[in-house]
């Protein structure tokens, strides 16, 4: 991990349709590991919001995002070993 202050931002963000995935890098015992969070974006009169609740039509987007997040974590893990 870089020696920068924790800004609480994801290492990578991926988006398909109104769904997004955030890849987070964490460190424990000197080793990096990754976690992924998923969200669905929607617009209200007050602006953009996000939720962890998904409808039937969101599921194909989530499947694509899960695959892309898996690939991103594989790349990040490979890069950190080099």
The pLDDT tens digits for 42-70 are: 999 999 999 999 999 999 999 999 999 99
Domain residue extents for the chain: 12-81
Q: Is the pLDDT of residue 80 over 90?
A: no
CB atoms < 10 A from the CB of 16, how many? 16
CA 12 to chain centre: 6
Average model confidence (pLDDT) across the chain: 91
More confident of the two residues 80 and 20:
20
Helices (H) and strands (E) in the chain, counts: 1, 4
β-pairing, 19-28 with 31-44?
antiparallel
Distance CA 33, CA 71 (A): 14
> Residue 49 pairs with which residues in a beta bridge?
42
């Amino acid at each position: 991990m870089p020696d920068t202050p924790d800004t609480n931002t994801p290492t990578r963000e991926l988006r398909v349709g109104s769904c997004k995935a955030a890849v987070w890098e964490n460190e424990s015992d000197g080793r990096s590991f990754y976690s992924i969070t998923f969200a669905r974006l929607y617009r209200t009169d007050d602006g953009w919001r996000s939720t962890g609740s998904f409808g039937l039509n969101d599921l194909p987007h989530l499947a694509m995002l899960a695959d892309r997040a898996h690939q991103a974590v594989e790349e990040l893990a490979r890069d950190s070993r080099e």
